[in-house]
Amino acid sequence: MAFKQTSLSGTCPTLTYRFAIQQLRNTHLVELLLISFHGEYRYGSAGKEDAGLIRGIIKTGVAVYDPTSIIIDFRDMEYTWGDNFDLSFEDAESSRVVVVVGDKCRKAMSTLAFGIDTKQDIVDNVLFFDDFDSALLKLDSIDR
């Protein structure tokens, strides 16, 4: 049986991601995990693997770092429309989660959340923010 070598970067060549952590008072415990996505989420059904990558990376971050809180940062990810992109982030349920969006994805995420002809903004959702500091303030206000 022959196998074809593959990689996440080969399957999703237009997206990259980074992890950053903030530890709790110089312990090994992770208080805050920042997962940032960069690049372009491919349009329509071409984005199916990109959705899987995002979901998998969030799940991996939760499994590896076991954070108290998570910030998912999409400010540098272009998203116009794509299959399977889900704004629920159910794999991060056990943690306190907020999402930061930017101009590259804000409109499409708004239509995904509220419908194609919506006048609402994704940041009308209590867990989505258009600036990092507001997202941090929200995490601080959530009961631990």
Output the pTM of the full model: 0.92
Tell me how far apart the terminal alpha carbons of the chain are, to the nearest angstrom.
Answer: 51
pLDDT for position 126: 86
pLDDT given for residue 94 in this prediction: 60
pLDDT means per 10 residues in the chain (144 residues)? 94 97 92 97 93 94 94 96 77 80 95 90 92 93 70
Distance CA 43, CA 30 (A): 34
Give the separation between CA 44 and CA 96, rounded to whole angstroms: 30
The size of the chain, in residues, is 144
* Amino acid found at 106: R
At residue 38, φ and ψ (nearest 5 deg) are -135, 150
Residue 123 CB partners (closer than 8 Å, separation 6+): 101, 106, 129, 130
Superfamily of 11-141 according to CATH: STAS domain (3.30.750.24)
